[in-house]
Amino acid sequence: VKLEAEFQHARKMEAVGTLAGAIAHNFNNLLMAIQGNVSLLLLDTESEDPRHEEIKKIQEHVESGARLTSQLLGYARKGKYKIRSLDFNSLITKTMASFRQSHPTARMASHLAPDLDAVAGDRSQLEHVLFNIFKNAVDAMPEGGELFIKTMNIGHEQIRKRNYKIKSGEYIMLVIADTGVGMEHKVRRRIFEPFFTTKELGRGTGLGLASAYGIIKGHSGYIDVDSKKGHGTTFFIYLPTSTHPAEKTDYKDKSVIHGSGCILVVDDEPAVLEINSRMLTKLGFRVLEACSGRDALNVYRQNRHIVDLVLLDMIMPDMGGGEVYERLKDINRNVKAILATGYSLDGEASHIVKKGCDGVIQKPFSIDRLSRVISRVLKPGPPAKGKVAN
Ligand code: ADP
Ligand code: MG
C-alpha cells in the first residue's frame, strides 16, 4: 500500500512537472521579448530621463517573472544549465546575507564545516532552494524564533535510513532547522507537491518546495524533512560531492560590450528572433536571421564565409539546436555557436556544450549579458570551449 501510494505520488509529480515545464517554456519566450525590448529602451534613455525609473520598474517585474519561470523549470527539472564546482559554504553565507537584507528581523545562525567538499551544481538554482526554505521558516515563525543552518561532509552509509535508496558515494549534508510552528503529518507529506500551500491566497504559491525538490533531484541529491506540530521543522539536503575543487565565484558585470562582425540568429519564435536581431544590431553586428533549423542551415551554407557566430535557439519544432549545431559543424568544423536556452532537457544543453558549442546563454537575457557572452566567444585567441554564460 505504501509503495502504491509512493508510485502514485511520483506519477503525479511527473505529470505536473510536464505541465509546468511547457508553461514555463512559452512564458519564457514572452519574457525574452519583453526583457530584450526593455534593455534596449534603457540603453537609449539617460538616467535623468523621467521615463528611466518606469522602464527600470518594468525590468524588475520581468526579472520577477523570470524567477517564477525558473521556479517552474526547477520543478520540472529542466533548469540545470550552469554547472560549476561550488563552495557550498560561501553560497550559504551569501544567500543568508541577501536574505537578511529582505528579512532584517530574522535570527539566523550557522555552523559550517570548514573542510566542506565542493559540489557540482547550478549556483542560482541552489540559492533558490535555500531562499525558499529560509522564507518558509520565517513564515512559520510569526512570533520570532531561530533559523539554524549546518553543513558537513557525510558518506552515503551515514545518511539516515529513508524509504528511498541512496546511491553510494560521498555527500555533503545541509541541515536547515527552524523553531517555528511545525507541521502535522497530513501537511508534511504533501509539502513537495507543486501548488500545495497552507498559506492564504496571494501569500503562498506552493511552488517553493516543489521547485526545491526538483532542483535537488536534478542535482542527483536528496531532500527530506522532519517536523512535528508545535516543534519546529528541519530540512535535510544531501548533495553528491564534486571531484573538482570549487571555482572562484564570478563578479556581476553590467557593462555592454560592442562588437563587429556578422551573426546568424536562429529562433522559431518571431518575437524572440526580432528582439535578438535588434539587440545584436544595436551592439554593432550585422545580422542574418533564420526562423527554423532548416532555414538556418540554408542561410549558413550561403553565407558561411561571412558568418562569425551563430546564436542558436535550443528548442525548435522541426530541428532542435543540438541537431542544427551538428549539421553546422558538418558544413564548417570551426563554426562558432552560442546556444540560447530556457532550460535543458536532461542536460541537453551541457551535452551540446561538450560537443564543442562555445557557450550557452539562458533566456530571458538582456543586451548586456548577451554582449558579454558574445565578446567572450569572439575573443581572439584559443576559444574557451565549454565555457558557460553567466
Ligand atoms: P508556499 O510557501 O508558497 O506555501 P512551499 O512549497 O514553499 O509553498 O511550502 C508548502 C507548504 O509547506 C507551506 O504552505 C507550509 O504549509 C509548509 N511548510 C513549508 N516549510 C515549512 C516550515 N519551515 N514550517 C512549517 N510549515 C512549512
Ligand atoms: Mg514557500
- pLDDT mean values, one per 10 residues, the chain (390 residues): 73 74 81 89 84 88 80 62 82 90 89 93 86 94 94 91 80 96 94 88 81 86 94 96 73 73 95 93 94 96 96 90 94 94 64 79 88 88 44
CA atoms within 13 A on the CB side of 212: 26
Q: Which atom of ligand 1 is nearest to the CA of 137?
A: 23
Distance, CA of 182 to CA of 178 (rounded, Å): 8
Give DSSP secondary structure letters for 195-208: T---SPTTT--S-H
Distance, CA of 295 to CA of 318 (rounded, Å): 10
Taken as a whole, the chain contains a residue count of 390
Residue having the nearest C-alpha atom to atom 14 of ligand 1? 197
For ligand 1, whether the C-beta of 42 sits within 6 Å is no
For ligand 1, whether the C-beta of 137 sits within 6 Å is yes
Phi, psi of 176 (to 5 degrees): -125, 110
- pLDDT for res 287: 96
Residue having the nearest C-alpha atom to atom 27 of ligand 1? 136
Q: What is the reported pTM?
A: 0.64
Which DSSP state fits 242? P
Distance, CA of 182 to CA of 147 (rounded, Å): 13
**Count of CB atoms situated within 10 Å of the CB of 316:** 22
Give the residue, out of 75, 189, 197, 231, with the most ligand 1 atoms within 8 A of its beta carbon, to mutate for a pocket test. Answer: 197
Tell me how far the alpha carbon of residue 10 lies from the centroid of ligand 1, in angstroms: 19
Dihedral over Cα of 160, 161, 163, 169: its sign: positive
Tell me how far the alpha carbon of residue 92 lies from the centroid of ligand 1, in angstroms: 20
Residue having the nearest C-alpha atom to atom 3 of ligand 1? 204
Where are any strands of DSSP class E within 67-218? Answer: 83-86, 107-112, 119-122, 146-155, 170-178
Residue having the nearest C-alpha atom to atom 7 of ligand 1? 208
Dihedral over Cα of 130, 134, 136, 137: its sign: positive
Q: What is the β-pairing status of strands 170-178 and 146-155?
A: antiparallel
